[in-house]
Amino acid sequence: MKKLLDLNLKTLCDNECIFCHDSTKKMWGKRWNDYDKADSIREKIKAGARNGFKAICFTGNEVLNHPHIIKLIKYARLHKYTEIEVITSGRKLKDGVFLNKLIREGVSQFYLPIYGADARTHEAVTRVTDSFQDIMKTLDNLCQYRVRVILTTIFTKKNLKNISALTEFIINKHPQMCFKIDSVAAFSNSLLDYKHVTPPFEMAIPFLKKTARIYKKRYCSNLTYLSFFAKSFLHLPPCILYNIFDRDLFNLSILIRHSKFMEGHNSNESFPYESLIKLPFCKFCKFYMICCGISKFYIKVYGRSEFKYLK
Ligand code: SF4
């Protein structure tokens, strides 16, 4: 696996997502000029190349709003990064000329969020009118290139009921794109926000099961179905996944290992593992070594009764 350099740039986001742990307004108000300086970013890119990093990920809220983003991507390419990833809200990519420039300068992979199969659901999460229309235009634009696209969604109380419709939409309309479903990140702002936004797993599981059935219908072989589906859930503990998959097919150790280390965003540096814990009984669980753990926030809000070790 290539070493991935994560470059998290301070920029102004064009969405205002309900789960965002560092939404621009909450973090630093309306200071539009408070961008990371291009020179210091170039230094990081250069140092990463010197230290053997071959892949680089530009991220931030929203990284494509950085005034020098095209030049920085070009700079990364000149420093021999062979994989250049961008995590973005995707809204700026509705501009086909801009997208073309990014790809020409070397972007090889985009991560984009999508929260619903219709505007009402998507925008209930992003809280920005027209953000759905923008992302639809972006997806159409991206179809014209061979660049890798990973669509991500987060299930919240606002879009949970629509997750299966979204899955169906992506599988049918954009089967070449990878799709990942995740729970609200473990580092939310406060317990109050977390409860307001995050459903308990027992509420989510029926909807996620419905999603599993869509995968299964689409990918007829059990292995392909499991593989696709497991790759979708990077950060759910196996004892929760166990309730979503067909029990008789539940042999996830290899698949989760595969999905965790081979697919998607591989940087461990950016993921807040310190906000996850394992419970005392976890040491008896056969998935202990590969389990990402449980959000401390989740335990504080909903307790630990849903987690049971698997023998
Ligand atoms: S290690 Fe703990 S949290 Fe992880 S799957 Fe096992 S019981 Fe669940």
Over the stretch 247-258, which tens digit does the pLDDT of each residue have?
665 665 555 555
Residue of minimum CA distance from atom 2 in ligand 1: 282
What is the C-alpha separation between 183 and 144, in angstroms, rounded?
A: 30
Residues facing residue 109 across a β-bridge: 85, 148
Distance 240 CA to ligand 1 centre (A): 8
HSE-CB of 180 using CA atoms within 13 angstroms:
21
pLDDT band at 227 (very low <50, low <70, confident <90, very high): low
Residues 61-65 have a mean pLDDT of 87
What is the C-alpha separation between 225 and 205, in angstroms, rounded?
A: 18
What's residue 11's pLDDT? 76
Distance 47 CA to ligand 1 centre (A): 38
List of residues 6+ apart from 132 with CB closer than 8 A: 116, 118, 119, 122, 123, 126
Give me the CATH topology for the region 2-271.
TIM Barrel (3.20.20)
Residues 143-168 have a mean pLDDT of 94
What's residue 62's pLDDT? 87
What is the C-alpha separation between 82 and 203, in angstroms, rounded?
A: 42
Q: What's the sign of the alpha-carbon dihedral 35, 56, 260, 278?
A: negative
Q: What's the sign of the alpha-carbon dihedral 284, 285, 287, 288?
A: negative
Is the per-residue pLDDT at 67 higher than 50? yes
Lowest mean pLDDT across 17-26, 90-99, 121-130, 157-166? 17-26
Residues 235-253 have a mean pLDDT of 73
What's residue 263's pLDDT? 42
Asked whether 48 lines ligand 1 (CB < 6 A), one says no
Residue of minimum CA distance from atom 8 in ligand 1: 239
pLDDT band at 93 (very low <50, low <70, confident <90, very high): very high
Pairing type for strands 55-60 and 4-9 reads: parallel
pTM listed for this prediction: 0.87
Lowest mean pLDDT across 51-65, 225-239, 291-305? 225-239
User: What tokens appear for 160 in the block?
Assistant: 């949970």
Q: Which of 159, 203, 197, 196 is nearest to 181 (CA)?
A: 159
pLDDT band at 186 (very low <50, low <70, confident <90, very high): low
Distance 236 CA to ligand 1 centre (A): 10
User: Which single residue is written with the structure tokens 């004892």?
Assistant: 239
Residues 116-140 have a mean pLDDT of 96
Is the per-residue pLDDT at 269 higher than 50? no
What's residue 252's pLDDT? 56
Asked whether 237 lines ligand 1 (CB < 6 A), one says yes
Lowest mean pLDDT across 66-80, 162-176, 255-269? 255-269
| Residue to probe by mutation, ligand 1, list 233, 242, 276, 285, most atoms within 8 Å of CB | 285
Is the per-residue pLDDT at 260 higher than 90? no
Is the per-residue pLDDT at 31 higher than 80? no
Asked whether 201 lines ligand 1 (CB < 6 A), one says no
Is the per-residue pLDDT at 242 higher than 90? no
What is the C-alpha separation between 102 and 104, in angstroms, rounded?
A: 5
What's residue 123's pLDDT? 97
SS3 for the chain is CCCEEEEEECCCCCCCCCCCCCCHHHHHCCCCCCCCCHHHHHHHHHHHHHCCCCEEEEEECCHHHCCCHHHHHHHHHHCCCCEEEEECCCHHHHCHHHHHHHHHHCCCEEEEECCCCCHHHHHHHHCCCCHHHHHHHHHHHHCCCCCEEEEEEECCCCCHHHHHHHHHHHHHHCCCCEEEEECCCCCCCCHHHHHHHCCCHHHHHHHHHHHHHHHHHHCCCHHHHHHHHHHHCCCCCHHHHCCCCCHHHCCHHHHHHHHHHHCCCCCCCCCCHHHEECCHHHHHCCCCCCCCCEEHHHHHHHCCCCCCCCC
Average pLDDT, the chain: 83
Distance 1 CA to ligand 1 centre (A): 26
Atom of ligand 1 nearest to the CA of 288: 1
Asked whether 278 lines ligand 1 (CB < 6 A), one says yes
Distance 233 CA to ligand 1 centre (A): 15
Angle in degrees, 0-180, between the axes of helices 69-78 and 96-105, rounded to the nearest 10: 20
What is the C-alpha separation between 16 and 123, in angstroms, rounded?
A: 10
What's residue 69's pLDDT? 95
Asked whether 256 lines ligand 1 (CB < 6 A), one says no
More confident of the two residues 55 and 254: 55
Q: Which of 52, 44, 18 is nearest to 124 (CA)?
A: 18
Lowest mean pLDDT across 94-103, 144-153, 176-185? 176-185
pLDDT band at 28 (very low <50, low <70, confident <90, very high): very low
User: What tokens appear for 5 in the block?
Assistant: 């350099």
Asked whether 298 lines ligand 1 (CB < 6 A), one says no
